[in-house]
């Protein structure tokens, strides 16, 4: 009846999202009076270290054949581990990898799946999980009716910490099932912070007038250790790359701190950022709708305000 957590070690490195998922799995296991096991595929340096994050046992198949990241092959290998461990609840992170594997695992297990969970399940009587719906405009409590249950945890919504302890490693053999998918190339978008993982995001919109004005935005982001983002029209006209587009039809993010500079605050934009803990809005128009969603506001011209913030941020760092 244990809880199994899928550990994503994409590129040989365990992702932060997986530590969150493991901490979530551990907290759930405590609630259910059981233990949490981790499942990991592909070469990894020190799987027993997962014990420090709550795992009592790690099922590890170190075969490099999983490098094609074929969701079908991963699902089959994972299903074997789920069976071996007798897990009743399977946890993923709702990151790129989790999005491609969790649904397959749920279908294979004939299990109900809740994606993007933001809190521990309510296990008093029924088993229900809370998630954001309508692009963050509301929440739903979703009951999982099947015996086996699959949950994926929204990144950045559960605290984890490194403790003591080491896990028993149970080696699992076998190659990834032959796949028709071949990864030909991995293109790193940039060496910069990934937007969904960044704790601070500096975002700008059409109010910046042109791509040549993003220097100060990048400087501010750099000084704050933040990632940069933008509104949709800015990506559509090619001022900024598409992967920076946040909102209902772009990426949804929930950093600790979000700066919206020269962005009006259209409902579709807000939908992707309203999970942010603190929102700062800088806009010339006191009537800009974004101020209604803001914690802190500066009514002013970005071209005057942002350089001052850059100076202040540098002073802060010094």
Ligand X SMILES: Cc1cc2nc3c(=O)[nH]c(=O)nc-3n(C[C@H](O)[C@H](O)[C@H](O)COP(=O)(O)OP(=O)(O)OC[C@H]3O[C@@H](n4cnc5c(N)ncnc54)[C@H](O)[C@@H]3O)c2cc1C
Q: Which residues would be at the binding site for ligand X (CB under 6 A)?
A: 205-207, 231-234, 247-250, 262-264, 266, 268-269, 272, 282-285, 288, 301-303
- Segment 128-157, which members bind another protein (CB under 8 A)? 128, 131-146
From the list ligand X, another protein, none, partner contacted by residue 178 (C-beta under 5 to 8 A by kind): none
Of 169 and 271, the one with the shorter C-beta distance to another protein is: 271
How far apart are alpha carbons 84 and 114 in whole angstroms? 23
Q: Which residues have CB under 8 Å from 208's CB, separation 6+?
A: 214, 217, 234, 239, 261, 262, 302
From the list ligand X, another protein, none, partner contacted by residue 234 (C-beta under 5 to 8 A by kind): ligand X
The only residue of 173, 212, 315, 318 in contact with another protein, by rule CB under 8 A: 315
Which string of b and e fits 207-245 if b means at least 16 CB within 10 Å? bbeeeebbebbebbbbbbebbbbbbbebbeeebbeeebb
From the list another protein, ligand X, none, partner contacted by residue 207 (C-beta under 5 to 8 A by kind): ligand X
- The answer to whether residues 265 and 290 touch, using CB atoms and an 8 Å cutoff, is yes
Q: Show the binding pattern over residues 84-123: x = contacts another protein (CB under 8 A), - = does not.
A: ----------xxxx-xxxxxxxxxx-xxxxxxx-------
Of 90 and 257, the one with the shorter C-beta distance to another protein is: 257
Classify residue 230 by its DSSP letter. Answer: E
Of 210 and 304, the one with the shorter C-beta distance to another protein is: 304
- The answer to whether residues 150 and 105 touch, using CB atoms and an 8 Å cutoff, is yes
- Segment 177-236, which members bind another protein (CB under 8 A)? 179-189, 194, 197, 224
Classify residue 132 by its DSSP letter. Answer: E
Provide, rounded to whole angstroms, the least separation between the CB of residue 303 and ligand X: 5
From the list ligand X, another protein, none, partner contacted by residue 278 (C-beta under 5 to 8 A by kind): another protein
Of 164 and 287, the one with the shorter C-beta distance to ligand X is: 287
> Tokens 């749920």 label which residue?
106
267 binds another protein (CB under 8 A): yes
> How many residues interact with another protein (rule CB under 8 A)?
98
- The answer to whether residues 52 and 165 touch, using CB atoms and an 8 Å cutoff, is yes
Classify residue 145 by its DSSP letter. Answer: -
From the list another protein, ligand X, none, partner contacted by residue 269 (C-beta under 5 to 8 A by kind): ligand X
Query: Order of strands across the sheet with 89-93?
Result: 128-133, 112-117, 149-153, 89-93, 3-7, 36-41, 57-61, 168-171
């Amino acid at each position: 009846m244990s809880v199994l957590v899928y550990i994503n070690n994409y590129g040989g490195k365990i992702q932060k999202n997986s530590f969150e998922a493991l901490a979530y799995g551990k907290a759930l296991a405590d609630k259910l009076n059981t233990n949490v096991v981790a499942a990991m595929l592909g070469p990894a340096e020190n799987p027993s270290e997962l014990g420090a994050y709550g795992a009592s046992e790690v099922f590890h198949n170190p075969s490099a054949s999983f490098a094609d990241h074929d969701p079908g092959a991963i699902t089959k290998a994972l299903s074997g581990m789920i069976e071996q461990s007798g897990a009743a609840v399977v946890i993923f992170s709702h990151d790129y990898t989790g999005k491609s594997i969790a649904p397959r695992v749920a279908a294979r297990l004939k299990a109900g799946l809740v994606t993007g969970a933001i809190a521990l399940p309510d296990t008093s009587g029924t088993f229900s999980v809370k998630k954001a719906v309508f692009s963050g405009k509301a929440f739903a409590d979703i009951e999982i009716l099947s015996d086996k249950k699959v949950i994926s945890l929204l990144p950045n919504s559960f605290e984890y910490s490194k403790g003591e302890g080491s896990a028993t490693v149970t080696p699992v053999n076998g190659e990834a099932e032959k796949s028709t998918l071949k990864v030909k190339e991995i293109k790193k978008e940039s060496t910069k912070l990934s937007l969904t993982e960044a704790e601070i995001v500096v975002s700008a919109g059409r109010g910046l007038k042109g791509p040549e004005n993003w220097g100060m935005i990048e400087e501010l982001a750099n000084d704050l250790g933040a990632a940069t983002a933008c509104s949709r029209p800015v990506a559509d006209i090619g001022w900024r790359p598409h992967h920076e587009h946040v909102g209902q039809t772009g990426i949804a993010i929930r950093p600790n701190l979000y700066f919206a500079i020269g962005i009006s605050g259209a409902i579709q934009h807000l939908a992707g950022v309203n999970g942010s803990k603190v929102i700062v809005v800088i806009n010339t128009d006191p009537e800009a709708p974004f101020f209604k969603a803001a914690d802190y506001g500066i009514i002013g011209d970005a071209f005057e305000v942002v350089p001052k913030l850059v100076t202040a941020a540098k002073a802060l760092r010094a």
